[in-house]
Amino acid sequence: MSDQKQNFIGGAWVSGEPAENVNPSNTADIVGLYARANVAQANDAIAAAKAAFPSWSRSGLMERHAILRRASDEILARKDELGRLLSREEGKTLVEGIGETVRAAQIFDFYAGEALRLSGESVPSVRPDVGVEVTREAVGVVGIITPWNFPIAIPAWKLAPAICYGNTVVFKPADLVPGCAWALVDILQRAGLPGGVLNLVMGQGSVVGQTIAQSRDVDALTFTGSQGTGAALALESAKLMRKSQMEMGGKNPFVVLADADLDVAVDCVTQGAFYSTGQRCTASSRIIVQESIHDRFLEVLTERVTALKVGDALDASTHIGPVVDESQLAQNEDYIQIGQAEGARLVVGGERISGATQGFYQRPALFAECSNDMRIAREEIFGPVAAVISVKDYDEALAVANDTDFGLSAGIATSSLKHATHFKRNSEAGMVMVNLPTAGVDFHVPFGGRKASSFGAREQGRYAAEFYTTVKTAYTMA
Ligand code: ADP
């Protein structure tokens, strides 16, 4: 296939089984043909990364800085085009697609700076005349496996620190969204990365992902995706006794207290639960509302949700793009039925709708009269579905917020400093938002959660060094 986008292995583009990248807003629109790698190619990629490691891990800091800097500049200069590609292959709106692309550029910019800020410690020994140095070194070959919901930002926040700290990479993006991944690798190789430092193997999790996950030559594995796959890959990594980092699901609570600014609360919930079609691990899916404000809040929220326009991601008037594919949409529909069967009241939405084009469109769904033990309040749906739970007071709200297997993000709308402070201290989540949506985070500070949401070191910001480096303690007798 001459027009297929190929895999990148050991510094060369390599063809494979072509797979169609389909636009979820319009299934007649094929974004492109992308080569699926096979097991042998995945192993070639791992071998290439291993061979490139000795030299890249000793590369000059200015070289790393300049490559990351050039990548950032090019992503920013092409933000409209790349944002459009993102929206076309994943289905989030163009504003969101361009925003995510800018964020990817900012992440490369941040790690371009970090490359020049590597540091260690020099400390006195407890023994006279002995000096101790504590330094950080690259880990080796990093396997990077990413999901479909942030096709450029998640690859960016794994690739940039991996490269910055001197590791080499085997990168497998989600099968549904190879377009942004391919563009990123193309940009990085033209920015000057030596052959073998970054290898792209597109394709299926059960083939390419498995090969990476089971390889003894992969020294560290970073994964973002579903809870089941993440748990399996963590076990795989434990067997090999290698470093691993898993970012998985969420069932994020957003608490609305009676003293909240109603507009702020409704904004946070509309944004947090439904934007990006609810396909974010930080989406608010449990809306916990104090009973004295419950009916008024639900009335205003229902008006807002009803007014949301669902449609083609590239249409400027669209608020909510399509669901990513047929199987995700069918799963969302199942949960609509499950919620009703469990006794929750479907206030609005949930139905599949047709658009001007053949796409996977679903109206945002709002359930009320939910209890926290219903499946729609416990299982991650990963779609535009939110469950409203009424509680008596702040103490019950906090207890319900924390009563979950997950612990990624948690939010509260309140004007009370006392409750905001107490919630920040007592929420069992990795990220806590006060008067802000549960989704939407900065790129320069740690990202990650607790319980079944995350395993291993935090991602992003300076904390990324924890995963992408290993510590050495050296003693010298004077
Ligand atoms: P999602 O619902 O986001 O697709 P998955 O956990 O299925 O969540 O997929 C996340 C990433 O993990 C994708 O790149 C996928 O191809 C990959 N993947 C899925 N199954 C496996 C597996 N068994 N081994 C390695 N990677 C996998």
| Ligand 1: centre distance to CA 221 (Å) | 13
Residues 177, 263: one domain? no
Residues 22, 163: one domain? yes
Mean pLDDT (whole number) for 105-115: 98
CA-derived radius of gyration, the chain: 23
Give per-residue pLDDT as tens, 250-278: 999 999 999 999 999 999 999 999 999 99
Atom of ligand 1 nearest to the CA of 224: 10
Residues 182, 282: one domain? no
Residues 286, 307: one domain? yes
| Ligand 1: centre distance to CA 70 (Å) | 30
Instruction: Give the active site residue among 100, 281, 380, 466.
Output: 281
Give yes or no for residue 313 CB within 6 A of ligand 1.
no
Residue 240: which domain range? 4-248+453-477
Residues 343, 372: one domain? yes
Question: Best of 145, 170, 282 to mutate for ligand 1, by most ligand atoms within 8 A of CB?
Answer: 145
Residues 209, 64: one domain? yes
Give yes or no for residue 205 CB within 6 A of ligand 1.
yes
Atom of ligand 1 nearest to the CA of 232: 23
| Ligand 1: centre distance to CA 172 (Å) | 9
Give per-residue pLDDT as tens, 29-78: 999 999 999 999 999 999 999 999 999 999 999 999 999 999 999 999 99
Residues 215, 280: one domain? no
Residues 38, 180: one domain? yes
pTM of the complete model: 0.98
In a domain, 459, yes or no: yes
Nearest protein Cα to ligand 1, atom 17: 205
In a domain, 69, yes or no: yes
Instruction: Give the active site residue among 90, 247, 333, 466.
Output: 247
Read off the CATH number of the domain in which 48 is found.
3.40.605.10
pLDDT at 1 over 90: no
Residues 301, 210: one domain? no
Active-site residue flag, 281: yes
| Ligand 1: centre distance to CA 282 (Å) | 18
CA distances in angstroms from 97 to 77, 114, 121, 153, listed in the order given:
15, 26, 41, 10
Q: Please tell me the total count of domains within the chain.
A: 2
Residues 243, 258: one domain? no
Give per-residue pLDDT as tens, 345-393: 999 999 999 988 999 999 999 999 999 999 999 999 999 999 999 999 9
Give yes or no for residue 225 CB within 6 A of ligand 1.
yes
Mean pLDDT (whole number) for 460-477: 98
Residues 48, 184: one domain? yes
- In percent, the amount of the chain with pLDDT more than 90 equals 99
Nearest protein Cα to ligand 1, atom 21: 205
Question: Best of 21, 229, 282 to mutate for ligand 1, by most ligand atoms within 8 A of CB?
Answer: 229
In a domain, 439, yes or no: no
Residues 400, 261: one domain? yes
pLDDT band at 93 (very low <50, low <70, confident <90, very high): very high
| Ligand 1: centre distance to CA 248 (Å) | 11
In a domain, 99, yes or no: yes
In a domain, 440, yes or no: no
Give yes or no for residue 147 CB within 6 A of ligand 1.
yes
Tell me, what's the pLDDT at 478?
85
Give yes or no for residue 229 CB within 6 A of ligand 1.
yes
Active-site residue flag, 247: yes
Atom of ligand 1 nearest to the CA of 174: 14
Read off the CATH number of the domain in which 339 is found.
3.40.309.10
Atom of ligand 1 nearest to the CA of 203: 16
In a domain, 84, yes or no: yes
